[in-house]
Every structure is written in C-alpha cells, then in structure tokens.
Structure 1
Amino acid sequence: MAHPGFLVSPWPWRSLAYLVTTVPVGLACMVALVVLAGVGAMTVPVVIGVALLAGVVLLGIPVGVLERRRLWLLGPGRLAGRHRTPDRAGPLGWSLTRIREPATWRELIYVLLLCGLLWPLDLVLVAVSAIGSVLAIGAPLWTHVMPDLAFRIDRWVLADRHTAWATVPVGVGLTALALYGLALVAGAQGALARYLLAATPDEARDAELAEMARSRGALFEAFEAERRRIERDLHDGAQQRLVALTMELGEARLGTPPDAPASPPLDRAQEHAFQALSELRELILNIHPKVLNDHGLGPALADIADRCTVPIDLATDLPRRPPPAVESAAYFAVSEALTNVDRHSGADRAEVTCRLIGDTLILRVTDNGTGGAHPASGTGLAGLADRLAAVNGTLSLSSPPGGPTVLRMEIPCKRPVS
C-alpha cells in the first residue's frame, strides 16, 4: 500500500471485491446458523436435533474452505486448512474427528465473527464510501439533472454548478482515501481469516508429511494384501498340484520293478518334485507365512524361533492382534534380525520379546555374540529400518564391541475400529 502506484494497481479493487463479497457470504452464514441452531434446539429430544446442533459446530468447515479460496483476492497462493485425515471412514467417523479438532472450533469462531461483526461492518463501510464518492464526484451531474435540489454539507450549500464543480477534486481525494481505508480493512480481515482458518507454513509442512506417511502406510498395506493373495494362490494352487504330482510319481515308482528301465527316471523325477515342493514352501514362507495369517504374530514368531539354528528364548505379550500390516512388518523384521544373529553375531543364544503396550508394538532382539554391528556394515540393518519406516516404525541398535547386541523396534498400531 505504500507503493506510489497502489491506486492504479488492481489491489484496491481486489480489496473492494473482497469486502463486497463478504456481505452475501456473511448473510448466508447467519441465515444457516440461525436455522440450524433454532431448529436443532427445538428438536433436541429427537436425533435430528442433535445432528443439527452438531451441524452448527461443523458449519465453519465449508465456510473455511470458501474463505480460504476467497483470500486469493488479497494475495496469491493456495492456503491449506488445519484439518487432518479422519481416524476412520464414514460420516460418523469424519464428524467425530472434526468435532475433536481445534481447527473446527477456530473456524466456528470465524463464522461467529463473520455473522455478527464482519459483514455488517463491510456493508456500512462500502456503502458509505460509495455513496459519499458518488455524491461528491457526481455533484455537477446532480445540479444539472435536478437544479432545484440543493445539498448542504455543514455550512457549504451546493446549489449551483460552480460550487458543485468545486466538490469534484474533494470527492476524488476522499475516494482515494476511502480506497486506502478499505484496503486496510480488507487486509486486516484477511489477516484474521488466515490466522483462524489457514495452516501456518510449519503446520502445512507437518500435514503434508503426515499425509505422505498415511499414503505410504496405505501403499504398504496394499502391498501386504497382494503378498497375502500371492501366498494364498501358491499355497492353494501350485503347491497342491506339486503334492499331487509327488504322490503320483511315488505310486508309479512303487508299481515299477527296481530293475525296470523306467525306475531310475522315476526316482529322479520324484526327487526333483520333492525339491521343487520344498523350494516352493520356502518361497511361500518368505512371501507371507500362512501361520501369520491364520494364527497371528505370536505363533509366527515361535515358528521363526523353531527354525533358527541359534537357540531362541521367546516371550510374547499380545492382548490383541495388531493390524495386518504391522504384523507383517514385525514378522519380517524379527526374521531378518535372527538371520543376522545366525550369520554374523557368533552368538550361541538369543532372546526375542514382543509386547503390545497401549498402541505401540515393542520388539526386542538380544544376542550374546561379539557385537560391533552397524547399519552400514551390510548386515541388512538398513533395509530393516526401511521396512519399519514404511509403517512409521523406529529402530534403535546397541552393539558395543564384545556384545551384547540389542535391537529394539517400535511400531505404532492404532486399535482396530469396530
């Protein structure tokens, strides 16, 4: 506004447009607020009344969306809201999340200010400025069209064209001052709207990071669902056919004399079928173990411990099943950690604990090996950290030279929504 060319720039008119459009928006909000509150108060004994009163609280959300879009009149750039992704799907989950958010109540405060103060103030200021400018600048026209009509301003009587023309420069000056004043009012209202409705740069960045984490989690869950589908198809399809083939080869071998020419090829074929079946079972286990799907994380970890060549002491405390994506990440993280124990630690014993405390799954893998493990040493710890990060998990490592090595993993897992 301090720029010399402010009055000939688009900004005074954009500010005026912002104030003018505030009037119908505020009037519509006031009508909606009165209707929702009035009808809701009268129908409180019925469910519809509670819904309407909840609508009063939530009225600021659509108003906030509209107001953030209107703020482009006062400056470039799209403003983000302060709302987060609802905890669960559906209208009820959305409403409960929004009602608990501070952003919703800030928007409601803005709606109350808009209805009770801002739009009446803007209407008066714009109307007075417009009428004053039109009367002052257009005074020669009024005296020409209505020569018998005189205007009195304090002690100054506009009764002829000569005195009327003298008001034109005064009107131009007052119009310029009015445009400056209206721009100041629009700027103040825009700052208020930004404060109550728009996220700060830090909040917008945090919201973007949260959305990225949510999208990454959704992608991980979709990936895990596809792994489960592949495991199910292999288990119910190819594996069953290989089992049937192995049995048929065994029957054919039993019905063939040992000295028959077909006996050695049948022996080799059955051996290859057994080997293929074993490899397929190992592949299915690495894709997604069936025990994890059917029985949960505790039995799946027990299965890993049984297959590990290093003796494992396993302790689990899982009052409920974590989400499938969390179970899968925890299973493969422990599997990778025990593989490292087996291959690199030199340990003769290890301990695995798995506890669900509140909404956090805590895993701890300890071995009595030589220690000195480091994520950059190529033992798979970096990949393990990446796997945990996909479900917002964290990994901490303590491995001094000489041991012991302690690997602690934490994965957040919200309670499943019924």
Structure 2
Amino acid sequence: MRQPPQRFLLSGWPWRAWAFLLSGALTGLASVAVLTALAVFGVILSVIGVGLVLLLAATVFGIPVAALERRRLRLVEPVPVLDPHRSLPGAGRRARLGARLRERSTWRELGYVVVSGVVFALAGFGVAIGLTFAVVLTAAPLIVRAVAPDSVMLIPGQAIESPSHALPATAAGLVALALCAYAAGLLAGAQVRTAVFLLSPRDEERQVVELTRSRARLADAFEAERRRIERDLHDGAQQQLVALTMTLGLAELELRESGSPTTELVSRARGEARLALTQLRDLVRGIYPQVLTDHGLDAAVAEIALRSPIPVGVDIDLPRRLPDAVETVAYFTVTEALTNAAKHSDASEMSVVGRLRNGRLTLVITDNGSGGAVPAAGAGLQGLADRAAILKGRLVVSSPVGGPTRVRMEVPCSA
C-alpha cells in the first residue's frame, strides 16, 4: 500500500484483501453464531447435565476456528502463523482436553472468535456493500444501455437516461473502487495484526517449538555423522584389515614351504587380524546396518534376531518402506531391548511385533525374563525415548519384578 497507487491498484493485493475480508465476514459470523448457540443452550440445559458438555464444546470451539484462520491468513500474510498448542502424541481424549483447557492459547483463540465474528465481520460486510456500490457505478453505462430507453436512477435524485450521461458515474465508481481497495488493505492489515497477536505462540511457547526443532536438527546431524563413520570404517579400515589378512596368509604359505620357525608367529598374527576384522564388522553393523538401508526395517530386525543368543520371534508386517528416521529409531529400539534382555533378564524367548496403522508405527518387544528394568537407570532406553519424542512418538516400558518385560514404541511416520 506504500507503493505508488498504480502499482498497488493494478496488483493482486486488492483482490486478495477483498477475498480475505469477505470470506472472514462469512466465517466470523457463522463462528460467533455457533458459539452463541453452544453457550445459550449450554446454560439452559446445564440443569440436566447435557449443558455442561455444550459449555465445554463452546470453550474449545476456538481451536478449530483458529486452525482455519491460520490457513486463511495465507491469503494476505506470506509468513505462516505457527500453531501455539503443544504436541500431545499418544495422549487420550481426556488428557488432551485437559491439556488444552490449561493452555492460555485456547482462551486467546476463543477471544479471537468473538472479535472476528463481531468487529471484523461487520467491517467485512461494510466493505462488501461499498464494493458492490462501486461496481454498480463503474458499470453504469452498460446498465443504462441494457435497460434503455427507460431512465436509470443509480444515484438518489438523479436519473441517467443515456450511456454518455453515465460516464461521470463510471468515474465516481473507479474512485470508489480505489477507496475500497485501500480500505480493504487497511482492514486486512488490522485483522492480520490481531490474528498474529491472538493466534500465534508467545515467546515461551515459541521457545518450546524452537527447542523441538533444534533437537530434531541435532538428531539429523547425529545420524549423518553416524553414517559417515560407518562408511569410513567400511571403506577404509575394514578394507585395510582384509588386505592385511590376505598378506599375512600369503606370508604364512611362503614361510611354511621354507620351513621357517616364524611361521607360527605369522599364523598367530593372521588369526588376530581376522579377530580384529570380525570385531570391526560387528562395530560397523552396530553403528548403522547396511541391510537397514538396502532392505528396510523388517529385514534388519530379522538379521539381528538371528544373531541374538535368545530365540526371537519376529512378526513385522509393513506395507511399505518407512521414513529413514522412523526406521532408525525402531531398529535401535529393538537392538537395545535385545541387548538388555541378553545381559540382565535371563529370558528364554522374545518376540518382536511391528505394525503400521493410521500412519503410526507400533513396535512391541516382549521377553519372558525376570523383569525389573528401570529406564532411568541407564542411558539406553532413556536415549531411545528422547529420540522417539523428537519424532512426536513415545516409548513405554512395562517391566514388573518377575517379568515379563514389554517395550512399546509408537512413532507417527508423518513427523
């Protein structure tokens, strides 16, 4: 609006402001009508208990309306407005409702419903009336031509009998259109400022969002570094150990043919090189298994189950490959559970069950050991819980004394 008038009026911004205000007038009026109905019927029916449900619905009614408004703001506001509500993955309906009622943003959104449904709805209808009048004046010659030879009274007290006499009305209509464009811009700017103030997160809420994002970036950087180390070990040190083993084998053959007394030392060195190569391969596989990248979670879990000292039944049925971050968290959750069971539980059998339902991966690892696992006692399960939380998932450990131990992980694949 601070640009020269011709640049603003000939751009798409007046149309966007008109669309924003007119759609806001309709949604605001409908929202305040629904809110009023919920409140009135809630008070009337509160004596029989049903009204309390309606009053509760009225209290949280601003949440879906605010979500719609944050999308509608994209018409005139290029910077998206963040959702101020905390993410509550895996929480039940009662827990989610209680958390929303305790959040200040819920009450701010309710106040925005009232303001937008009264103040900005009236302003939007006022702009609509002015815009309609300006369009009628601008199209005055066409209207007069369509109804000729009758005279047309577009302006009270002044009849227009021919299209040429309607040209002053067209000029007035163009001026009115320009005024409507600037008025719509000012009103849209005022509503955007109000919406940003009431619907966006406060500083402390924004810090939580930024903290979650920084944790996700750290997790991504950690995964990238893990894969780099695995690649360097696989292509560097591992290949050098293979070459060393082959060289020692050739030296052992030469020395054995010559009957040298150092043959036994070279043979021992070759055995130690083989052992170092085996340990390095296990280390590389533990850092990031190549089978997970090539064949997915089900194949990687099946492979680690074969190497487990405890018999493990694997039942993972996934219709498709999952995102890399989800597969990585799920794989190391299984690895940590199998390692803990082998070290501490005295279990004789284990099972791993994985399913994908409604876009969420659910993984359950169960053993029949002695139980008594304490996630807070070590960094393993606690670290896995933190990594699942980054993906808006959760890790639940049930391990009563005497067993069994049950580890359940839920991660949304869209996070």
- Normalising to structure 2: TM-score of the pair? 0.56
Secondary structure of the equivalent of 2:313?
Answer: strand
Q: CA deviation at 1:407?
A: 0.8
TM-score between both structures, scaled by the size of structure 1? 0.56
Which residue type is aligned with residue 271 of structure 2? E
Aligned residues: 271
Within 5 Å, give how 1:15-30 maps onto structure 2: none
CA deviation string 1:16-74 (max 9, x = no partner): xxxxxxx8599887664566579x9xxxxxxxxxxxxxxx9744114xx6xxxxxxxxx
1:76-105 deviations in Å (ceiling 9; x for gaps): xxxxx62469xxxxxxxxxxxxxxxx99xx
Residue 211 of structure 2 is matched in structure 1 by: 212
Q: For residues 380 and 286 of structure 1, do their structure 2 counterparts lie closer, same or farther at Cα, with a shift above 3 Å needed?
A: same
> Deviation at 1:390?
3.5
* Matching residue of 1:247: 246
Deviation of 1:281 after TM superposition, in Å, equals 0.6
Partners of 1:201 and 1:35 in 2: how far apart?
Answer: 25
Please name the residue that 2:409 is paired with.
409
Alignment match, 1:262? 262
Secondary structure (helix, strand or coil) at the match of 2:255 reads coil
**SS of equivalent to 1:198:** helix
Q: CA deviation at 1:330?
A: 1.2
- The residue aligned with 1:278 is 278
* Structure 1 residues 110 and 266, CA gap change in structure 2 (3 angstroms): farther
Quote how far apart the aligned CAs of 1:350 are. Answer: 0.8
Deviation (angstroms), 1:342: 0.8
1:380 corresponds in structure 2 to: 380
Change beyond 3 A, Cα 1:229–1:34: closer
| 1:61 aligned onto 2:60 | no
Q: Secondary structure at the match of 1:356?
A: strand
- Partners of 1:110 and 1:193 within 8 A in 2: no
Q: How does 1:180-259 map to 2 (within 5 A)?
A: 194-200=193-199, 205-257=204-256, 259=259
Distance 1:376 1:209 in 2: 23
Task: Assess if the C-alpha contact under 8 Å between 1:213 and 1:392 holds in 2.
Answer: no
Mark the structure with the bigger radius of gyration. 1
- The one-letter amino acid of 2:388's match is L
Structure 2 CA distance for aligned equivalents of residues 283 and 398 of structure 1:
29
Q: Which moved more, 1:333-342 or 1:257-266?
A: 257-266
TM-fit CA distance, 1:323: 1.3
Deviation at 1:261, TM superposition (A): 2.5
Contact 1:329 1:391 (8 Å CA) reproduced: no
* Partner Cα distance (1:110, 1:273) in 2: 78
1:346 aligns with 346
CA distance in 1, matches of 2:240, 2:370: 46
SS at match of 1:292: helix
Could you tell me whether the CA contact under 8 Å between 1:371 and 1:404 is conserved in 2?
yes
Query: Gaps spanning 5+ residues in structure 2: where?
Result: 20-71, 85-108, 131-186
**Amino acid paired to 1:229:** R
Partner in structure 2 of residue 333 of structure 1: 333
What secondary structure is seen at the aligned counterpart in 2 of 1:330? Answer: helix
Shift of 1:217: 2.0
**Partner residue in 1 for 2:145:** none
- Please tell me whether the aligned partners of residues 30 and 115 of structure 1 are also in contact (alpha carbons under 8 angstroms): no
What is the match of residue 81 of structure 2? 82
User: Residues 388 and 26 (structure 1 numbering): CA distance in 2 closer, same or farther, change over 3 Å?
Assistant: farther
Q: Residues 165-180 of structure 1: matches in 2 within 5 Å?
A: none
Cα distance change on mapping 1:34 and 1:241 into 2, 3 Å: closer
Q: From the superposition, tell whether residues 375 and 26 of structure 1 become closer, same or farther in structure 2 (CA, over 3 Å).
A: farther
Superposed, which structure 2 residues align to 1:47-126 within 5 Å? Answer: 58-62=74-78, 82-83=81-82
1:255-291 deviation per Cα after TM superposition (whole angstroms, max 9, x unaligned):
2227413212211220221122112112111211111
Letter in 1 for 2:209: A
